[in-house]
Amino acid sequence: MKSATGSLLLILFFLFFPGSAKEGFSWGIGHRTIGEGVLLRLPESLKKELTPDQIQAFLTYNSYPDSLENVDPNLAGPNAILRMKEFKTQKRFFFHKPEGRCIAFEMLVQSLREKDWNRFVLWLGILSHSTADQISCNHEPLLHFITYCWGEEGMKLTNDFSKCLDLGWIEGDPKTQKIWTDAVRDLSIPNTICNQKEIFFALHTIEWEGLEGNRYSMDLIRAINAWNSSKGYQEQADLARTLVPFGTWAVRRIMIYVHSAIAIAQSTKNGKPLPVRFEPDQVKDLQKWIDRFILDRPITDDAFIVPFLPPAGSDPKIGILYDPSGRMGEGFFSFIDRVAAGLIAGSLQHRGSAGILDVRKVIRSGIDPKKTPLLILPCSRLTNYYPLKKKNLIDQIVQYRNKGGKILWIGGSPPQEILSKDLFGQMIFNPEKSTYLNPVYTVPMKDLMKSSVLLNGKEEGKFIREPRGKAGWSWPRSPWYFKEGARKAADVFLELKSPDKTRIIGILSPKDHPDFGWLPAYTVFPCIFSGDHPRISPFELKLDSTEEKILEYAVDSLLLL
């Protein structure tokens, strides 16, 4: 079974410095806020067992998994070390994975049975961190982009906009802190206790259920803007109430684990303690659950995309393909492609008939080129993702094109079935090794920042900002470009002029009557070619002026020819 967080292991290292809590990043402060919420709802019978030092240790352990250091054997205990060795790791970041959460739960039960309160607060802190991560608002695509690409690249956001995205903001004022603590105290915690199979299933599925937080993104942006504009009490309170659901979701889940651990710790079988151990067959139905969730999750749960959805029963003239399936760094498409789809839709809205299309619906039903003559695919990466198979999408796109539909692919290298034979051999890439901190582009970064883009031979913009952020997954890695031989088969309309030479980065094919266009991902990554700043208050999701001109040229060329 594919691990939902396997691709995040190195990412977690760069989000937080190893060996430290690094509370200035994302939910560093927010993790402590969640921990304080857990303490508010911890059963009194447990709380009275803990010393003040142990309570402080628990709050510190709420950031324990954010490190590449090994787990301290003296801290974790021999049983935990042996269990981790079964998964061939001793690293603290392992506890971000569902298997890590399951082991943490096992150790939580053991510490309760042994009344080992030093280890109890460790495992509770680890579970608290890993659970809160699933609902962290900076894991929602748009808020992630704002935090790490706009908020961290020297683009001043109104009154520290990005700081308000952290739950920890709520503790900056006694009035907002009271709103939080009241919500936690009023939180309904189910008393029904899961059996082992159910609890281990829940420790896995929260990775998808946490996407519930995506529903609140636009509410949060509006609340931050209102607070920054007025600094009034009502707006401050409204922002606090908008942040609360992120925290209470996590506290409620953590308390379910606590009550389950207490029940299992007190259970016996034939006079002996009930064994507690994660086994793969305990979650054998997990794959079916994930498949159903991915196929059935409403696209409207990604709130920022809702304004760009076509009216029910209608088909947009320009369809922008959107993948709502993935979580954090995962998905059928790349994580950044979701934000790119919104940026493209926002820039084309003035045309009156441009809208988002759900990729799952396209796979099921195809596209009618008479109703939607142009399909834009912001697709930096296309990969099989649980029930979504790339072959099924490729087949539908080929059929659509054969019936007269036109395609603009933005991002990675299109499949051979879609890129013509004449062009497939002409597409090459910068052979630099792509790493987390150094994503690869058409040319090395030092040369990219000395480059400009030429639209039909005329310079339209220079790189004034690097097309990457300080952390996260929303970076438009784009090493692809075309050899000069592509000019025989395609109309070249966009080039990258670099210190060493000029490279082809935008084509329309075939040359006389194009039905296919391609652009690199960084052409829909706003504010890198112009002095434009993000449109935050009032919020507006669209490309900058240079990118809009490039996009409009490609769209018009495909629709008019």
Between 50 and 561, residue with greater pLDDT? 50
Distance CA 423, CA 517 (A): 11
Q: What is the pLDDT of residue 228?
A: 86
Predicted confidence (pLDDT) per residue in 430-448, tens digit? 999 887 777 899 999 999 9
CA distance 360 to 333: 12
Please tell me the predicted confidence (pLDDT) of residue 153.
Answer: 56
pLDDT greater than 60 at residue 144:
yes
Q: How far is CA 161 from CA 136, 143, 221, 224, 379, in A?
A: 16, 11, 9, 7, 29
Cα separation, 262 vs 258, whole angstroms: 6
* Confidence tier at 530 by pLDDT (50, 70, 90): confident
Q: What is the reported pLDDT for 436?
A: 72
Full 3-state SS string of 100-132: HHHHHHHHHHHHHHHCCHHHHHHHHHHHHHHHH
pLDDT digits (tens, 9 = 90+) for 451-509: 999 999 999 999 998 888 777 777 888 999 999 999 999 999 999 999 999 999 999 99
Least confident of 181-185, 282-286, 392-396, 506-510: 282-286
- pLDDT on residue 561: 57
Instruction: Supply the pLDDT for residue 491.
Output: 96
Using CA of residue 259, residue 28, residue 26, residue 65, what is the dihedral sign?
A: negative
Distance CA 110, CA 7 (A): 30
Residue 109 has pLDDT above 90, yes or no: yes
Residue 116: name the closest of 44, 46, 56 by CA: 46
| DSSP, res 453 | E
**Which range (206-210, 213-217, 536-540) has the least confidence?**
536-540
Q: For the chain, give the mean pLDDT.
A: 89
Give pLDDT, residue 539: 87
pLDDT above 80 for 186 = yes
pTM: 0.91
> Beta-carbon neighbour count of residue 272 at 10 Å?
7
Helices (H) and strands (E) in the chain, counts: 20, 13
Helix residue ranges, H only, 164-271: 174-185, 196-209, 217-230, 233-265
3-state secondary structure (DSSP) of residue 4: coil
Closest CA to 223 of 271, 181, 170: 170
- Where b means 16+ CB within 10 Å and e means fewer, 386-416 reads bbbebebbbebbeebbeeebbbbbbbbbbbe
Residue 339 has pLDDT above 60, yes or no: yes
Candidates 238, 236, 239, 189; CA nearest to 40 is 189
**DSSP assigned state of 150:** I
User: Once rounded to an integer, what is the mean pLDDT over residues 287-298?
Assistant: 96
513: which 2 tokens? Answer: 């009557």
For residue 269, list its beta bridge partners.
Answer: 272
How does pLDDT run across 62-82, given as a tens digit for each residue?
999 999 999 999 999 999 999
Question: Looking at residue 512, what is its pLDDT?
Answer: 86
pLDDT value at 2 more than 80: no
pLDDT greater at residue 148 or residue 83: 83
The reported pLDDT for the residue numbered 3 is 33
Q: What's the pLDDT band for 150 if we cut at 50, 70, 90? A: confident
* Lowest mean pLDDT across 253-262, 306-315, 536-545: 536-545
Residue 510, pLDDT score: 93
Amino acid at 320: I
Look at residue 152 in the predicted model and tell me its pLDDT: 57
Per residue in 6-50, pLDDT (tens digit) is: 333 333 333 333 333 333 333 468 999 999 999 999 999 999 999
Q: What type of residue sits at position 480?
A: W
pLDDT at 231: 87
How is residue 282 written in tokens? Answer: 């305990």
CA distance 180 to 241: 8
pLDDT for residue 127:
98
Determine contact, residues 322/358, Cβ cutoff 8 Å: yes
| Alpha-carbon span 508 to 490, nearest angstrom | 5
Whether residue 514 is preceded by a cis peptide bond, meaning omega within 30 degrees of 0, is no
| Residue 391 CB contacts under 8 Å (≥ 6 apart), including other chains | none
What does the pLDDT read at residue 271? Answer: 83
